């Protein structure tokens, strides 16, 4: 905690030092995106595991508060991506270090230049939604709190499990320095790997996450994920294919939207499943290793908490990778879509 306070006070003290501000912004935007990712991967997996819960999740995505969060999320991803590329490029080219300050300014300018047209296009979807003849359906705050509460419980349980595990490992190893120093060499090689991984994975994530966001916010928009008879972004219309693969959201459920995307075959390859699998693997490992860097910085004084930070990130990454992969390998059939349609109708009728 002391080092967290130190980070914030030092940042304020060095007001004007752009490098310091861009470091803090990079950290906040990375953590913000990771928090969303945790809720999102589990939410999407529900389309296969508990269809009615994904239906609820998308209604929450359409709440005005989330619309604000959606603009913030896109801003976080764009800034973090551009600044991450700056870090990567400069790290591999020490001769350019003298241009650090200027590069940080370019990142800010680049972020604004990308965000202005993106926000205008996103805002058109918001306007269209609120100007539609039928009044938009908005879930209550109590509905959101109830749906998100299990996530909070899950995060707390994972944190407690990590601290307990760290305590047990500490007891078993006797907190011996010998173990720590024996691992130190291996650790430094491993840390070099992670250093390079963060930079290469970052570059690979850029086209994947920008493509994903372009589909979800510009081409289609969050409000169209559960729109009756809407087309499906990235899936051509082909009436001759079955109801869950014809490129049209016949039922108007968010569950059918995912089914259509994941059922689409190019040749015989389910390209959107492959795309999502690559995105899942890269963002989860990159994001949780980033979280490990952050938590390690703030737990220097306590070996127990430092180890626990590592375990927490490992638990988080494994859970998301397993849940996300199970979903990607699963099948959504008509009975699940029907279940989602009934749940959606009940929520709308109940005026949640």
Unique residue bearing structure tokens 């938590």: 295
For ligand HEM, give the closer residue by CB, 2 or 350.
Answer: 2
Binding mask 232-261 toward ligand HEM (x if CB under 6 A, else -) reads -------------------------xx--x
The answer to whether the beta carbons of residues 51 and 311 sit under 8 Å apart is no
Evaluate whether 203 touches 92 at the Cβ level (below 8 Å): no
Q: Exposed e or buried b for every residue in 202-219, given b needs 16+ CB within 10 A?
A: beebeebbbebbebbbbe
Sequence-separated (6 or more) residues with CB below 8 Å from residue 67: 126, 222
The smaller minimum CB distance to ligand HEM, of residues 115 and 206, is found at: 206
Q: How far is the CB of 222 from ligand HEM (least distance, A)?
A: 5
Task: Select from 50, 71, 151, 293 the one that contacts ligand HEM (CB under 6 A).
Answer: 293
Least distance from C-beta 171 to ligand HEM, angstroms? 30
Please state the closest distance from residue 189 (CB atom) to ligand HEM, in A.
Answer: 15
Residue of 324, 47, 280, 312 whose CA lies nearest to 155: 312
- The site for ligand HEM, by CB under 6 A, has a size of 51
User: Is residue 33 a contact residue for ligand HEM (CB under 6 A)?
Assistant: yes
Strand partners, 231: 248
Applying CB under 6 A, which of residues 53, 283, 285, 336 lies at the interface with ligand HEM?
Answer: 283
Q: Is the dihedral of CA 342, 340, 153, 4 positive or negative?
A: negative
Question: At a CB cut-off of 8 Å and minimum separation 6, what does 130 contact?
Answer: 136
Binding site for ligand HEM (CB under 6 A): 26-27, 30-31, 33-34, 36-37, 40-41, 44-45, 61, 70, 73, 77, 80-81, 84-85, 87-88, 195, 198-199, 202, 205-206, 209, 212-213, 216, 222, 225, 257-258, 261, 272, 276, 279-280, 283, 286-287, 290-291, 293-294, 324, 327-328
């Amino acid at each position: 905690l002391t080092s967290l306070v130190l980070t914030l006070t030092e940042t304020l003290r060095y007001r004007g030092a752009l490098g310091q501000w861009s470091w803090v912004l990079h950290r906040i935007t990375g953590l913000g995106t990771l928090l969303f990712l945790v809720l999102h991967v589990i939410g999407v997996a529900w389309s296969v595991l508990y269809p009615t819960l994904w239906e609820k999740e998308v209604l929450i995505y359409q709440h005005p508060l989330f619309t604000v969060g959606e603009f913030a999320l896109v801003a976080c991803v764009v800034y973090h991506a551009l600044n991450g590329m700056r870090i990567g490029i400069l790290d591999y080219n020490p001769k350019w270090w003298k241009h650090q300050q200027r590069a940080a300014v370019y990142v800010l300018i680049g972020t604004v230049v990308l965000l202005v047209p993106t926000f205008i296009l996103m805002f058109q979807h918001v306007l269209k939604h609120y100007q539609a003849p039928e009044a938009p359906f908005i879930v209550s705050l109590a509905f959101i709190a109830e749906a998100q509460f299990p996530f909070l419980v899950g995060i707390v349980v994972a944190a407690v499990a990590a601290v307990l595990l760290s305590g047990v490992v500490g007891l078993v190893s006797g907190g011996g320095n010998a173990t720590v120093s024996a691992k130190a060499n291996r650790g430094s090689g491993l840390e070099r790997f992670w250093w390079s991984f963060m930079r290469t994975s970052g570059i690979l994530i850029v086209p994947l996450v920008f493509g994903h966001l372009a589909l979800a916010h510009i081409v289609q928009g969050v409000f169209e994920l559960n729109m009756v008879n809407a087309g499906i972004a990235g899936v051509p219309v082909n009436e001759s294919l079955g109801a869950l693969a014809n490129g049209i959201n016949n039922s108007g459920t968010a569950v059918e939207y995912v089914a259509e995307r994941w059922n689409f075959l190019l040749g015989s390859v389910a390209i959107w499943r492959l795309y999502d699998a690559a995105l899942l693997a890269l963002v989860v490992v990159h994001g949780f290793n980033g979280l490990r860097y952050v938590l390690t910085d703030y737990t220097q004084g306590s070996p127990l908490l430092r180890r626990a930070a590592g375990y927490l990130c490992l638990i988080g990454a494994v859970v998301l990778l397993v849940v996300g992969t199970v979903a990607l390998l699963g099948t959504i059939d008509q009975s699940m879509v029907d279940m989602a349609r009934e749940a959606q109708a009940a929520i709308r009728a109940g005026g949640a």
